[in-house]
Amino acid sequence: MIVVGGGVSGLTTAVVLAERGLRVRVWTREEAERTTSAVAGGLWWPYRIEPKEQVADWAATTLRVYEEFSRRPDETGVRLVPGVLAGQSPTALGAWSAQVAGLRAARPDELPGGHTEGVRARVPLVDMPAHLGWLRRRLEAAGGSVELRAVRSPAEAVEAATAAGAAGTVVNCAGLGARELAPDEGVRPVRGQLVVVENPGVETWFVVADGESSRTTYLLPQPGRLILGGTAEDGDWGTEPVPATAEAIVARCARIRPEVAGARILAHRVGLRPARAAGVRIERETLPGGGTLVHNYGHGGAGVTVAWGCARAAAALVPGG
């Protein structure tokens, strides 16, 4: 069997399948550290993702898994970190919020930057480069493999899977690549730019609820660095950092934590979130000429948040999975 896509959705799905005894190969056109997942801030939080009913279940499943992983943070890259979502009240959150132990309204002293309401919670914060590396090692320990290989069509992958004795099954976790692979014109990029700086002592995460704005503001403390964001530019395919955007990101974050203004910049990053007009697609189809194609894409900016829930849902559609 072949899983197309080497980001967090592809690797997680591959791990689930391999640990169920299936022979799995991951085809990815880029190394994990070059995928959109590697750029992600890594905060567990259902962000701009549909359909809400299924998302609540997928997110809750993933939360439970990450809580287990957080017992081994140096190994898995997953920590439970307290923080605040400003600009929203607990009652405005979805059904998933009932799964977060200790979630409550933020106190005034926990709301910098002139905000008057917010939510305080302790949730998973995933060091994505470390976590992606760990997922790959876990996959390999289960007998799976990762190959650098672009996929031109589902038929090509099905043919390769059949030749390997894998019953012609392919799982599509291609992210933006699903636009051509499915094909699905409803898949589009939501561009995210962020700035990585030396951490001046920020220990809690902070996010401002931005509604449908193309600008977002967040500070996410990761080991050895602080991630500042960001943007959510719908339909923008640009992958190069824009200096003026980076300056605006730092300025917004400095209004929340003034010490950030003087932090040394380590890197600029851009990632294209794989959004889909109709929301996440987890579906099985039989291809002309035979072969099974299982879809798992369209996670937008919440792939980390629903990774294990979606992986298990997709695996349930795989013959023998």
Find out whether 262 is annotated in a ligand binding site. Answer: no
Amino acid at 309: G
Closest by CA position to 253, among listed 286, 276, 221:
221
Q: How many CB atoms lie within 10 A of CB 181?
A: 25
Q: Is 36 annotated among the ligand-binding residues?
A: yes
302 is in an annotated binding site: yes
187 annotated among ligand-binding-site residues: no
Angle ∠(10,241,259) on CA atoms, nearest 5: 100
Question: 21 labelled as ligand-binding?
Answer: no
Task: Consult the annotation and say whether 47 binds a ligand.
Answer: no
165 is in an annotated binding site: no
Characterize the bridge pairing of strands 118-126 and 104-105: antiparallel
| Tokens matching residue 118 | 């917010």
Q: Is 66 annotated as a binding residue?
A: no
Sign of the torsion formed by the C-alpha atoms of 231, 4, 304 and 278: positive
Residue 211 labelled as part of a binding site: no
How far apart CA 175 and CA 150 sit, in angstroms, is 13
Contact 321, 22 (CB under 8 A): yes
> Was 153 annotated as part of a binding site?
no
Helices (H), the chain: 8-18, 36-39, 52-69, 73-76, 128-141, 154-163, 178-181, 243-256, 303-315
Tell me the C-alpha distance between 15 and 31, whole Å: 17
The answer on whether 297 is annotated among ligand-binding residues is no
Give the CA count within 13 Å in the CB-facing half-sphere of 113: 21
Binding residues: 36-37, 151, 218, 273, 300-305
Could you tell me which residues are annotated as the binding site for D-dopa? Answer: 218, 273, 301
Residue list, annotated binding site for FAD: 36-37, 151, 300-305
